[in-house]
Amino acid sequence: MTTTPDPPLGGNVGPSAEPLTAEQEVLDEAAQVMEDLEPIVDMDPLDNPRRLLLVHAHPDDETIGTGVTMASYAAQGALVTLVTCTLGEEGEVLVPELAHLAADRDGGLGEHRVGELAAACEALGVKDHRFLGGAGRYVDSGMMGLPSNARPGCFWQADLDEAAAHLVAVIREVRPQVVVTYDENGGYGHPDHIQAHRVAMRGIEVARDGSWRPDLGEAWSVAKVYWTAVPRSVLQAGIDALRESGQENFFAVESADELPFGVPDAEVTTAVDGALHMEAKVAAMRAHATQISLDGPFFALSNMVGHEIMGMEYYRLVSGEPGEQRDLDGRESDLFSGVG
Ligand SMILES: [Zn+2]
């Protein structure tokens, strides 16, 4: 026997049954993720005379694009600070057992990738890693042209100055002499990469202006700003190596000129030789298991021509003076060359 009446069928029974907005859900998830994270940095950043800040869009971008650079400077004792702008919730899941984490299934990929990124940073020797505005503040926008680009809370929809303010707080705290991010096209046109570029450039610009949000710390002027670059000749070497190995469908082109992301060799100012740190980069690639397939092109390249292609990382110096130290191609070989 029951003494309480049943609630009306199909109706909401109170305020707690109100549907959450998508943004609120994201913020709640982020708060949970932050609670679960251990504090990572327990030292004063300014104890390190050389400080490098990298701004990337998704977990795995830091490893694929700048892995040996990060490992190399970390090994030399520089402070390497990574800011990742989203959790990469919209990524494709390449591990069948984890396919349920995909955004179009159960979801949860973002939280999973927080762990992958932590493992990758450990492999690279990078101790200072943050998410822009805290984990989950900005959600992956998905590839350009998808409906997810318009979703509230996605990084593509972020207010530029609000997002830049999160980065300004980091810049003024860490005071990096060198910042690395993408070019205006985000390297290859992904909305989150384009937005990471905009946020990084805006953050650098306003961080040096003491009248801009003085509550975020003392003004700091970044000495050198680099955009990641893949020289066209290196891209061509990769295409040729993959074709010879039977992986030709990855790029689906014969010539690097047909791809939107090769940079003319003459525009590449800087080459970091990280061949000694290839093992760390490969370990970090393995850490991003849902994203980088073991039988895919990145591992194929690292096996075949690793030192020439995966062990060298290239940049364009877009702000600041190039250092005098040069390699045989006339390029800078040290991001900090000429600094302090
Ligand atoms: Zn990315």
Q: In the predicted model, is pLDDT for residue 92 greater than 80? A: yes
DSSP bridge partners of 129: 82
Distance (angstroms) between ligand 1 centre and the Cα of 338 equals: 30
Kindly state the average pLDDT of the residues 91-120: 93
Distance (angstroms) between ligand 1 centre and the Cα of 230 equals: 15
Q: In the predicted model, is pLDDT for residue 190 greater than 80? A: yes
C-alpha 232/C-alpha 258 separation (Å) is 10
Which comes out higher in pLDDT, residue 22 or 86?
86
Distance (angstroms) between ligand 1 centre and the Cα of 5 equals: 53
Kindly state the average pLDDT of the residues 206-214: 98
pLDDT reported for residue 21: 65
Residue-wise pLDDT for 271-301, tens only, equals: 999 999 999 999 999 999 999 888 777 777 7
Contact 60, 292 (CB under 8 A): yes
- Angle between helix axes 22-36 and 109-124 (nearest 10 degrees) is 40
How high is the mean pLDDT of the chain? Answer: 88
C-alpha 116/C-alpha 131 separation (Å) is 14
CA end-to-end distance (rounded Å), the chain: 82
Distance (angstroms) between ligand 1 centre and the Cα of 122 equals: 19
Which tokens hold the place of 246? 């039977």
Distance (angstroms) between ligand 1 centre and the Cα of 57 equals: 5
C-alpha 83/C-alpha 196 separation (Å) is 10
pLDDT reported for residue 214: 98
283: left (phi over 0), alpha (psi -120 to 50) or beta: alpha
Closest among 122, 125, 124, 196 to 155, alpha carbons compared: 196
pLDDT reported for residue 6: 44
C-alpha 50/C-alpha 65 separation (Å) is 21
Q: Which amino acid is it at 208?
A: R
C-alpha 219/C-alpha 221 separation (Å) is 7
3-state secondary structure of 101: helix
Distance (angstroms) between ligand 1 centre and the Cα of 290 equals: 13
User: What is the dihedral angle through the alpha carbons of 288, 293, 298, 301, rounded to the nearest 10 degrees?
Assistant: 130
Kindly state the average pLDDT of the residues 335-339: 95
C-alpha 28/C-alpha 117 separation (Å) is 21
Q: In the predicted model, is pLDDT for residue 80 greater than 70? A: yes
Distance (angstroms) between ligand 1 centre and the Cα of 204 equals: 21
Which tokens hold the place of 226? 């680099």
Q: In the predicted model, is pLDDT for residue 307 greater than 70? A: no
Contact 86, 192 (CB under 8 A): yes
**164 — pLDDT class (breaks 50, 70, 90):** very high
**194 — pLDDT class (breaks 50, 70, 90):** very high
pLDDT reported for residue 246: 74
Distance (angstroms) between ligand 1 centre and the Cα of 1 equals: 59
Which comes out higher in pLDDT, residue 308 or 160?
160
Distance (angstroms) between ligand 1 centre and the Cα of 84 equals: 10
As residues whose CB is below 5 A from the ion ligand 1, the structure lists: 57-58, 61
Distance (angstroms) between ligand 1 centre and the Cα of 150 equals: 18
Distance (angstroms) between ligand 1 centre and the Cα of 60 equals: 7
Distance (angstroms) between ligand 1 centre and the Cα of 66 equals: 12
Closest among 252, 236, 229, 232 to 301, alpha carbons compared: 236
Distance (angstroms) between ligand 1 centre and the Cα of 111 equals: 16
Element (H, E) at 29: helix 22-36
pLDDT reported for residue 7: 42
Percent of the chain's residues with pLDDT above 70: 86
Distance (angstroms) between ligand 1 centre and the Cα of 110 equals: 13
Closest among 220, 133, 137 to 178, alpha carbons compared: 220
Cα-flanking dihedrals φ and ψ of residue 239, to 5°? -60, -45
Distance (angstroms) between ligand 1 centre and the Cα of 2 equals: 56
C-alpha 23/C-alpha 155 separation (Å) is 12
Residue-wise pLDDT for 21-68, tens only, equals: 666 776 777 677 666 655 445 567 788 899 999 999 999 999 999 999
Distance (angstroms) between ligand 1 centre and the Cα of 197 equals: 12
pTM for the predicted model, two decimal places: 0.85
pLDDT reported for residue 300: 75
